[in-house]
Structure 1
C-alpha cells in the first residue's frame, strides 16, 4: 500500500476505493460502503489481517462527514462525486470497523505503529470515531 499521509484517503487502497465510488450509482455506493464495513467489522476469520482496513477507514470518513463535527472530504484522492445520504445503520457499523482496525492483528495498525507518525494516524481514527459516537452528556435528572 502506498501511503502519502495520515488522512483516510491518503493511501492507494482508499484512493482506489474513491475512484470506484465515483464510477458507481448512488445505490451501489451505499452497498459498497456497507460491504466494506461489514467485512472489517465482522471478519470471517478472527485472525484475519483485514485487507480492507484502509477502505473501511475511508468509508467511515465518508459517513462521519454527514454528522455534526464531521470533516468534509477534501483530499485530492477522495471521491469527486457527491455522496448519497447514508442509512443510519452504517454509523454503528463504521464504529465497529474503526474499533477493529486499530486493534491487532490488523496489518494497517501494525504498519502505523512501526511508524513515527503512528500517534497522528491514531488521532485521525479517534477523531472519526468521536464524530460517529460522540460522548454523551450526563444528566442529573431523568427527563
Structure 2
C-alpha cells in the first residue's frame, strides 16, 4: 500500500481518486463519491479490496468536510476543483461504506491492523461520527 500517513488522502489510491473527482463534470462529482460508496457496499461478504476502501474513505472525508463538525480537506492530494454542495442523501451510503471497511474481510483494515490500526481506525470512526451526526 503506497501510504505515507493515516489521513484519508495520505495514500496513492486516494490521491489518484482526487483526479477522477476533478475530471468529473460540474454537477456530477457527487455521483463519483456515491459510486465509491456503492463499490464498497456492493461487495457483500466478499473480500474487500484495499483500493476500493481507500477511495470510499476519501469520498467520506470530502462529504464530512461539508457537515457540522467536519474537518476541511486541505491536503494538496485532494481534489483541486470545488465540489459544490453535496447532497445529504450521500451520508447513509457513506456510513454504510465505512462500516463495511471496518468489518471482517477488509484488506485495508487487515493491513492497518498489521501495522497498528488504532489511530487510523479512530480517524475513520471520526468521519463516521460526523456523517451520522449531520
Structure 1-normalised TM-score?
0.87
- Give 5+ residue unaligned stretches, structure 1: 136-143
Structure with higher helix content: 2
* Preserved CA contact (<8 Å) 2:18 2:77: yes
Question: What's the CA shift for 1:103?
Answer: 1.1
RMSD: 1.5
Once residues 76 and 4 of structure 2 are traced to their aligned partners in structure 1, the CA distance between those partners, rounded to angstroms, is 11
1:81-125 deviations in whole A, cap 9, x for unaligned? 111211121100000000000112110000000013x11100110
Q: Which runs of 5+ in 2 are unaligned?
A: none
Where does residue 141 of structure 1 map in the other structure? none
**Alignment correspondent of 1:26:** 26
Q: CA deviation at 1:39?
A: 1.2
- Confirm or deny: 8 A CA contact 2:56 2:98 kept in the other structure: yes
Larger radius of gyration: 1
Aligned length: 133
SS of the equivalent of 1:27 reads coil
3-state SS of the aligned residue for 1:133? helix
Query: Could you list the per-position Cα deviations for residues 2-39 of structure 1 after superposition, in whole angstroms to 9, with x for gaps in the alignment?
Result: 00100001001100000111122123311111111011
Match of 1:57 in 2: 57
Structure 1 Cα separation of the partners of residues 35 and 24 of structure 2:
14
Match in the other structure for 1:15? 15
Contact between 2:48 and 2:101, CA under 8 Å: does it hold in 1? no
